[in-house]
């Protein structure tokens, strides 16, 4: 059973939904630059996206119809502070304040994410997260967020999927800003990001003393191939451990969570990276280790692990023809059982599922409805697994579905649909999918209909 105060919600991010307005005064973000270089699968950009900048009132009315009680969204840093550190854009302040007010009028609890990837280009030009000043830049941004929105919001999340910022943005170059930096620089960038998290938590504690504050990393979940204790132990070791391929270091769980919750980097990583590490000071670790209220986790899939004859970690082959989402992500419902369970065992903190969901090939049927039974089947299995983790004692605080509506899926443009609400991009008309009606019942019954 989910607890009585379980948070049920839907999530989205600024860049993926808002779009632009000629009068909005926004600055340029690294994603604006990246899309202008033709890096998007369908050649699109996010200039319109879901046009939430003009349609948020309609969207909150739709959410109300769907029985949504909480909305996790992000503030665009480069919209709020166009060059990242200078003058505050009052048009953005008014916009986000009105958004927060409208949400509350519709009985929807806001969860603000400070950073969901669209970093100000002006700061990237100074080196971005590799610049030692970068934590301070984020601190200032957090101050502006606190000063302007803390009276309207009780829940904050500092970073969304920091692993993607570092790994996709700086190691692989698949995401903005499209860099492929040496290990030494990417480790330092991650350290600066973690310091920025610590500074933001401190600032938000001052500005919003009663708020709950969390942080939302991600990772594929290593889950045991069987219930044998040795497989469970091997999966756990892999989940918090490191991939032998150093280029995958940025997907790691413990490197991004141990410092925040336990105040230290994992020894396995320190040993692995010894030739490329910067000096790790006690002061930095204390800063990163600010008390937080919950661990947010974006969980989409996992991979099976078993123990070899000598207990070593063995990657189990997936079944031939295993199910995948339209992203090509494997469908592995038990990741929503094992992930939260492992995390709770290691960190003893409330776990908030900040994202989960699937991309489907949705289309309007002849009756104009969107019959996304595949998504319902996916969610039914995934959320039931989460419930099992809660029943067995993991403290699960809530679940946000990704996403509220179809939106701009980064390098996949508009080709991938994650929403509970269908967006017809030419007309921008919204239609609640079958899954949206189904999820309404899940929220209303606190998961008792699963
Ligand atoms: S990781 C990822 N997503 C989706 C996105 O819409 C959301 O903003 C993110 O928080 C859903 O959840 C997260 N999308 C990026 C996928 C890139 C995968 C590239 C792998 C290359 C090896």
Question: What is the CA(406)–ligand 1 centre distance, in A?
Answer: 14
Q: pLDDT at position 27, please?
A: 97
* Ligand 1 lined by 298 (C-beta under 6 Å): yes
Q: State percent of the chain over pLDDT 70.
A: 100
* Ligand 1 lined by 161 (C-beta under 6 Å): yes
Q: State percent of the chain over pLDDT 90.
A: 96
Model confidence at 128: pLDDT above 90: yes
Mean pLDDT of 38-52: 96
* Ligand 1 lined by 174 (C-beta under 6 Å): yes
Q: pLDDT at position 120, please?
A: 98
Question: What is the CA(412)–ligand 1 centre distance, in A?
Answer: 9
The helix (H) or strand (E) run that includes residue 386 is: helix 373-391
The whole-angstrom separation of Cα 92 and Cα 81 is 9
Condensed to tens digits (0 to 9), the pLDDT of residues 292-312 reads: 999 999 999 999 999 999 999
Mean pLDDT of 351-376: 98
* Ligand 1 lined by 163 (C-beta under 6 Å): no
Closest CA relative to residue 256, chosen from 325, 162, 339, 319: 162
Residue from 298, 299, 326, 330 to probe ligand 1 pocket by mutation (most atoms less than 8 Å from CB): 298
Q: pLDDT at position 271, please?
A: 94
The whole-angstrom separation of Cα 142 and Cα 276 is 30
Instruction: Give the residue, by CA position, lying nearest to ligand 1 atom 4.
Output: 409
Ligand 1 atom index nearest CA of 407: 6
DSSP letter (8 states) at residue 25: -
Other CB atoms within 10 A of residue 318 CB: 13
Instruction: Give the residue, by CA position, lying nearest to ligand 1 atom 9.
Output: 161
The whole-angstrom separation of Cα 101 and Cα 122 is 30
Residue from 220, 324, 355 to probe ligand 1 pocket by mutation (most atoms less than 8 Å from CB): 355
Instruction: Give the residue, by CA position, lying nearest to ligand 1 atom 3.
Output: 409
The whole-angstrom separation of Cα 62 and Cα 176 is 32
* Ligand 1 lined by 13 (C-beta under 6 Å): yes
Model confidence at 196: pLDDT above 90: yes
Average pLDDT taken over every residue of the chain = 97
Q: pLDDT at position 219, please?
A: 87
Q: Is the dihedral of CA 425, 417, 320, 308 positive or negative?
A: positive
Mean pLDDT of 375-400: 98
**pTM value surpassing 0.95:** yes
Mean pLDDT of 383-389: 98
Q: pLDDT at position 297, please?
A: 98
Condensed to tens digits (0 to 9), the pLDDT of residues 229-279 reads: 999 999 999 999 998 787 788 888 999 999 999 999 999 999 999 999 999
Q: pLDDT at position 45, please?
A: 97
Model confidence at 351: pLDDT above 90: yes
Q: What is the per-residue burial (b if ≥16 Cβ within 10 Å, else e) of 325-344?
A: bbbeebbbbbbbbbbbbbbb
Ligand 1 atom index nearest CA of 416: 6
Q: Helix count (H) and strand count (E) of the chain?
A: 16, 13
Residues annotated as catalytic (active site), given as ranges: 161, 355
CB contact at 8 A, 124 and 117: no
Q: List CB contacts of 433: < 8 A, sequence separation 6 or more.
A: 362, 369, 370, 371, 372, 375, 419, 420, 421, 422
* Ligand 1 lined by 355 (C-beta under 6 Å): yes
Q: pLDDT at position 24, please?
A: 92
* Ligand 1 lined by 409 (C-beta under 6 Å): yes
Residue from 41, 118, 164 to probe ligand 1 pocket by mutation (most atoms less than 8 Å from CB): 164
Condensed to tens digits (0 to 9), the pLDDT of residues 75-93 reads: 999 999 999 999 999 999 9
Q: pLDDT at position 285, please?
A: 98
């Amino acid at each position: 059973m989910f607890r009585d105060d379980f948070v049920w919600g839907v999530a989205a991010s600024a860049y993926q939904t808002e779009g632009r307005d000629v009068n909005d005064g926004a600055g340029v973000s690294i994603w604006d630059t990246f899309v202008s270089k033709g890096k998007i699968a369908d050649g699109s950009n996010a200039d319109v996206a879901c046009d939430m900048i003009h349609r948020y009132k309609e969207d909150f009315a739709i959410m109300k119809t769907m029985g949504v009680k909480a909305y996790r969204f992000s503030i665009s840093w480069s919209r709020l502070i166009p060059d990242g550190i200078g003058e505050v854009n009052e048009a953005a302040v008014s916009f986000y304040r009105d958004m927060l007010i409208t949400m509350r009028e519709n009985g929807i609890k806001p969860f603000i994410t400070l950073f969901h990837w669209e970093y100000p280009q002006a700061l990237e030009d100074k080196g971005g997260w590799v610049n030692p000043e970068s934590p301070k830049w984020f601190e200032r941004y957090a101050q502006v967020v606190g000063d302007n929105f803390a009276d309207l919001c009780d829940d904050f999340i500092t970073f969304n999927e920091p692993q993607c910022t570092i790994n996709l943005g700086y190691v692989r170059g698949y995401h903005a800003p499209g860099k492929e930096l040496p290990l030494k620089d990417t480790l330092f960038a991650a350290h600066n990001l973690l310091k920025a998290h610590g500074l933001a938590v401190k600032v938000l504690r001052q500005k919003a003393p009663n708020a709950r504050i969390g942080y939302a990393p991600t990772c594929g979940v290593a889950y045991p191939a069987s219930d044998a204790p040795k497989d469970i132990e091997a999966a756990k070791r892999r989940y918090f451990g490191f991939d032998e391929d150093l280029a995958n270091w940025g997907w790691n769980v413990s490197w991004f969570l141990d410092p925040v919750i336990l105040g230290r980097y994992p020894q396995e990583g320190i040993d692995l990276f010894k030739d490329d590490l910067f000096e790790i000071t006690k002061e930095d670790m204390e800063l990163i280790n600010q008390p937080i209220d919950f661990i947010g986790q974006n969980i989409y899939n996992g991979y099976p692990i078993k123990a070899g004859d000598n207990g070593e970690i063995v990657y189990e082959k997936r079944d031939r023809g295993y199910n995948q989402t339209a992203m090509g992500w494997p469908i592995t419902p038990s990741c929503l059982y094992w992930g939260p369970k492992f995390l709770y065992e290691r960190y003893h903190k409330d776990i908030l599922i900040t994202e989960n969901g699937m991309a489907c090939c949705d289309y309007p049927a002849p009756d104009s409805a969107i019959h996304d039974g595949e998504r319902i089947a996916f969610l039914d299995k995934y959320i039931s697994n989460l419930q099992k983790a809660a029943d067995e004692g993991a403290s699960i605080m809530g679940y946000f579905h990704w996403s509220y509506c179809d939106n701009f899926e980064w390098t996949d443009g508009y080709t991938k649909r994650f929403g509970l609400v269908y967006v017809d991009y030419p007309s921008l008309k919204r239609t609640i999918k079958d899954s949206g009606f189904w999820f309404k019942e899940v929220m209303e019954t606190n998961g008792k209909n699963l």
